[in-house]
Amino acid sequence: MMSTETTKAARSGDATIDQSPLYETKRHFRRSRFMRAVRNNPLAIFGIFVAIMFLLIASFPGLFTEHDPIKISPRDRLLVPSPEHLFGTDELGMDIYARVIYGARTTSKAIIVVLAIAVGVGSVMGSVAGYFGGWFDNVVMRITDIFIGFPPLILALAVNAVLGRGFTQTVAAVALTWWPSYARMIRAQILTVKHEQYVTAARAAGVRPAGILVRHVLRNSIDPIIVSITLDVGYIALATAALSFVGLGAAHPTPEWGRMVAQGRDYLLVQWWYSTYPGMALFLLVVSFNLIGELLRDWLDPSAIRKL
């Protein structure tokens, strides 16, 4: 029969093993494996540095430039890169460096909102479907099958075209096509975890199903979600930039990397800097978060032990 202390621990969601030497050994093992993962993938340091710089620029763009990103100056149109205008100017005389810097804020807003919606909706739908099963599981999985049956970018393009042009519509279109992958991934994790012994013990101790789902099942299914979120940062940035490239994203003069690349293609042969710098910013963002995602995958994935 289960003791009173064990029952209380199960009901509160605090595992007794957290204070045991075994838990400390596990923490040390994960920490050492993280360091080995870093040594195995030194480029991840570059990715972490670029990601930190992106977050700083998106949060405090005024610290990195004194120019107004939407100030029109016809006398300064299509200037070459110089100390005054580091990335040159566009056809309206707006400083491209300032627009790239402030474009990081636009991109970060899109990424945060899309991930919040996709992970939030996907987590709720996938966890409930996986843990309780039944007709709700069948309905959710058939809906995700419909969404996943279309290429994400094509589906987002169609939804964005229906909703209309604008930053809000673009974010909504991308988020609408992104949640099914999280729902399926979380459901698969929960189907694996919900039959573990600690879940059975919590159920026998009288813990409510919602408590088991949140404190035990989801808590032990979080590692693949973290890796997927990290990798999706770059993909979401590419998706929103692609929609802006075809004219469905943020309206001009809002600084947005995809639209800047699209506007500069008419001047690419003579004013190469117009499209090159926002394109490089997008490239660095995608590469950096992919490197971080690979590092987290090697660290958190148990199958990576053999590689490390």
**Residue 10, pLDDT above cutoff 60:** no
Residue 257 scores a pLDDT above 90 = yes
Instruction: Quote the tokens at residue 19.
Output: 């204070």
* 241/152 Cα distance (integer angstroms): 14
Mean pLDDT score of the chain: 81
* Residue 98 located in a structural domain: yes
pLDDT, tens only, 61-118: 989 998 889 888 888 888 899 889 889 898 888 999 999 999 999 999 999 999 999 9
Lowest mean pLDDT among 45-59, 115-129, 211-225: 211-225
Q: What is the DSSP code string of 57-108?
A: HHH-GGGT--S-TT---GGGTTPPP-SSSTT-B-TT--BHHHHHHHHHHHHH
Cα dist from 267 to 96, 213, 286, whole Å = 14, 55, 25
Question: pLDDT value at position 49?
Answer: 93
Structural domain tally of the chain? 1
Pairwise CA distance, residues 280 & 264, whole Å: 13
Kindly report the CATH number assigned to the domain that includes residue 167.
Answer: 1.10.3720.10
CA distance 200 to 28: 28
Does 193 have pLDDT greater than 80?
Answer: no
Structural domain for 252, as ranges: 39-305
CA angle 238, 239, 243 (to 5 degrees): 115
Mean pLDDT of 126-135: 84
Tokens for 92, please give them. 């309206």
Query: Contacts for 213-221 with beta carbons within 8 Å, 24 or more apart?
Result: 213/127, 213/128, 213/131, 214/13, 215/13, 216/13, 217/127, 217/131, 217/190, 217/193, 218/123, 218/127, 218/186, 218/190, 219/13, 220/193, 220/196, 221/186, 221/189, 221/190, 221/192, 221/193
pTM score of the predicted model = 0.80
Looking at the domain assignment, is residue 11 inside a domain? Answer: no
Q: Does residue 28 form part of some domain?
A: no
Q: 304: which 2 tokens?
A: 């990576």
Q: Judge whether 64 and 101 are in contact, CB under 8 Å.
A: yes
Would you say residue 271 lies in a domain? yes
Tell me whether residue 79 is in a domain: yes
Q: Establish if 178 belongs to a structural domain.
A: yes
Contacts of residue 193, Cβ cutoff 8 Å, sequence gap at least 6: 199, 216, 217, 220, 221
Confidence of residue 303 (pLDDT cuts 50, 70, 90): low
The alpha-helical segments, DSSP class H, found in the chain are: 4-12, 21-40, 43-59, 96-132, 134-148, 152-163, 167-193, 197-204, 209-211, 222-245, 257-264, 273-300
Note whether 293 and 303 are within 8 A (CB): no
The answer as to whether 88 is a domain residue is: yes
Q: Has residue 113 been placed in a domain? A: yes
Phi, psi of 89 (to 5 degrees): -130, 165
